[in-house]
Amino acid sequence: MLQSSLLTIIALGAALAPLGMAQQSPALSCTTRSQPPLVRFEGLAERVGDVVFDCAGGTPNGQVMLNFALFLNVNFANRIDAANHTDIAITADTGEGPVTMSAPAVLVNAREVTVDGVAVPFSSKGTVQIRIANIRGNASQVNPLQPFINVTASIGGSTVLAITNSTAEVAQAVTGLYSSEAGTVACNQAGSAPAATPSFGAFMAKGTSVDNVRVTEGFAYALAPKTDLQNLHADTGTRILVQYAGAPPNTVFYVPDVVAGSNATQATSAGAYGVPVSGGRYTPGGKNSLLLARVYGADANGAGGAPAYQPGAPGSGTVSFDKLGSVPTTADGTAFVVYEVMGAANNERESAQIPVFITFPPLADGLTYNVSEQASLAPVSAVAEAGRTAPIPRFSGAIAASDCPILGDCTVPTTPALRSVTSSANFSAGTVVAGSLATIMGANLKGGQVVVAFGGEPGTLLYNDANQINVRVPAEVPGPARTQVLVMVDGVRAYDVVTLKPFSPGVFAGAVLNEDNSVNSAAQPARAGTIVQVWGTGIAPGGAVTVMMGGQSIGAPVWWGEAPGIPGVQQVNIRIPQGLQLSGNATTFSVCESSAAAPQVCSPERPLNVTE
């Protein structure tokens, strides 16, 4: 349920007095009205609706001096100068356009402003419209049980002055920001390495740990850029403060410099909530959409600093976002980042996902660290009344409640489960080699976006279904070493640890061709003395490769190396010796490898059909 509150503005006018030789109006009457906007319940300096007086019965083409007093049931929150002059504006319109009145609006006390000596002209018909604008109040002080913000107006003079609709609604306060976290990240003891380049695409490809906080407007224009009318005389557009906690020692966060919202050309997302993975794309002009830019140099309350990006002019073309910036943590594992709204749609409620990549070295303390995020409107301030230097806008710092009930998409994602990580050729434990093919068996492995990484280096997916992933292990992963394996399915992560071997030959089932390129089989055996072509994986450069056939070593193959055009697969050409001991027309063979640093390892035996 939206929180709502009542803000009452009582506008009192005092003592009509003649100006110079101007005739005094004998029967002036005014109607009070306002067009009430929604304002943010968290706001300490919210702009409420203008107070408008439509007056008639004045002396045609005459002029009268008016004194106004405005009373709020909450504190005024406008900017004031040394003389307590506020930035509240008053205009008079006789039908030829509004004219700014020079009389200052003066703060008398926390809840009263007076505007004295306003020389108000009348039209040739004795009419005028008086507007008091840019009134800011502390909406967090309103009564949460009353949904409306009202104004009560009274104007007095030396003659009777009638007021119609002396009470009018001027605003309604509701919650301005909701938020949700895609899932708390439990930091793995193996650590999480950054990519070499601080870019969204590089970090996603590397499989760096990532979490996501989503922010959602409480109403269609709750998030607004500085250029929006609600930010008249404001210091900044609406800002969002994201706070992180629970990080391991020496963590460095990386966040996007620019975030494209839900209605942008392509929303920024690390794959959470079913949104495709993208750094985001934004097209200035046309249909406005939510755009957030990181504020570098902001303090912990979200004040100060400057946005990292300004959108281009309408028609300047679509822009893609990829840049990340670092966010160091404190000794207690906390950090913060500030974003400012640079664009928004005023007629649609919008959301934005703010991914955070979490990098940290391997942990040796055995502790579990759960990184969490929370969001609030910013700048956060304790200044609850009008002031000289307090930021506008400013907010109470209330932590945003969940947006899941609003958007209805916070279903718990299915977590992938890993059962084994092996060579794709023999499916036995302890057979994974850098640069070769591996198979991951498990459950819930299929999704819109699947990422596999070994030791932080992204692998190349070759096949993927719900229970199996075939992947080429990146050659860059060092070995032998215990290496973390990450599988991320639509932003949800699972981990395993394998020991990479320097080599572990394996031959694919049925991957033997005779010299004439026919598939070796009982019906098509190879002749002794000819060469068969064998395909496998896990045969690494730098070792000595030999062949066993019929239980005996037959020496080195004729040739072996990377299979042409098939990264991760090795080809071995073997000459079948004469005089083999055969069982019928069958024997077995293995491919073996050894080195000075590691003992010989042979592939599991495969059948070979041979005829003399």
Strand partners, 451: 488
pLDDT at 366: 64
pLDDT at 395: 98
pLDDT at 286: 66
Q: Which of 422, 441, 442 is nearest to 432 (CA)?
A: 422
Bigger pLDDT: 209 vs 98: 98
Mean pLDDT of 159-167: 63
3-class state of residue 200 by DSSP: helix
Given pLDDT bands bounded at 50, 70 and 90, which one contains residue 406? confident
Distances in whole angstroms, Cα of residue 231 to Cα of each of 236, 261, 518: 8, 20, 77
Q: Is the dihedral of CA 367, 373, 379, 384 positive or negative?
A: negative
Bigger pLDDT: 68 vs 284: 284
| 22 pLDDT higher than 50 | no
pLDDT at 52: 93
332-351 burial: b if 16+ Cβ within 10 Å, else e: ebebbbbbbbbbbbeebbbb
pLDDT at 146: 80
Give the whole-angstrom CA distance, residue 7 versus residue 139: 7
For a pLDDT cut of 90, what percent of the chain falls above it?
Answer: 61
Q: Domain 506-611, what fold?
A: Immunoglobulin-like (2.60.40)
pLDDT at 189: 63
pLDDT at 31: 87
Bigger pLDDT: 430 vs 377: 377
Flag the least confident range among 12-21, 31-40, 384-393, 584-593.
Answer: 12-21
Mean pLDDT of 345-370: 86
| pLDDT tens readout for residues 230-286 | 999 999 999 999 999 988 889 999 999 999 999 999 999 998 888 999 999 999 986
| 168 pLDDT higher than 80 | no
Given pLDDT bands bounded at 50, 70 and 90, which one contains residue 479? low
Q: Are 536 and 570 contacting, i.e. CB atoms less than 8 angstroms apart?
A: yes
DSSP class of 264: S
Mean pLDDT of 84-96: 96
Give the whole-angstrom CA distance, residue 513 versus residue 503: 24
Structure tokens at 441: 């068996």
| 17 pLDDT higher than 70 | no
pLDDT at 363: 76
Flag the least confident range among 189-198, 210-219, 266-275.
Answer: 189-198
Structure tokens at 410: 């916070």
| pLDDT tens readout for residues 309-331 | 999 998 899 999 999 999 989 98
3-class state of residue 402 by DSSP: strand
Mean pLDDT of 7-32: 48
Mean pLDDT of 327-346: 94
DSSP class of 449: S
Which CATH architecture fits 417-499?
Sandwich (2.60)
Flag the least confident range among 14-23, 214-223, 405-414, 444-453.
Answer: 14-23
Given pLDDT bands bounded at 50, 70 and 90, which one contains residue 8? very low
Mean pLDDT of the chain: 88
Listing DSSP states for 304-333 in one string gives SSEES--PPPTTS--EE--BEEEEE--TTS
Bigger pLDDT: 298 vs 16: 298
Q: Which residue type, as a one-letter code, is found at position 121?
A: P
pLDDT at 162: 65
Strand order in the sheet with 128-133: 99-100, 89-93, 128-133, 51-56, 29-33, 162-164
| pLDDT tens readout for residues 92-119 | 999 999 999 999 999 999 999 989 888 9
Structure tokens at 566: 């098939």
| Start-end of H helices in 541-597 | none
Given pLDDT bands bounded at 50, 70 and 90, which one contains residue 185? low
Distances in whole angstroms, Cα of residue 130 to Cα of each of 113, 348, 530: 16, 32, 103
Distances in whole angstroms, Cα of residue 294 to Cα of each of 257, 323, 564: 5, 11, 47
Bigger pLDDT: 486 vs 44: 44
3-class state of residue 301 by DSSP: coil
Strand partners, 377: 240
Mean pLDDT of 431-454: 90
Mean pLDDT of 590-607: 95
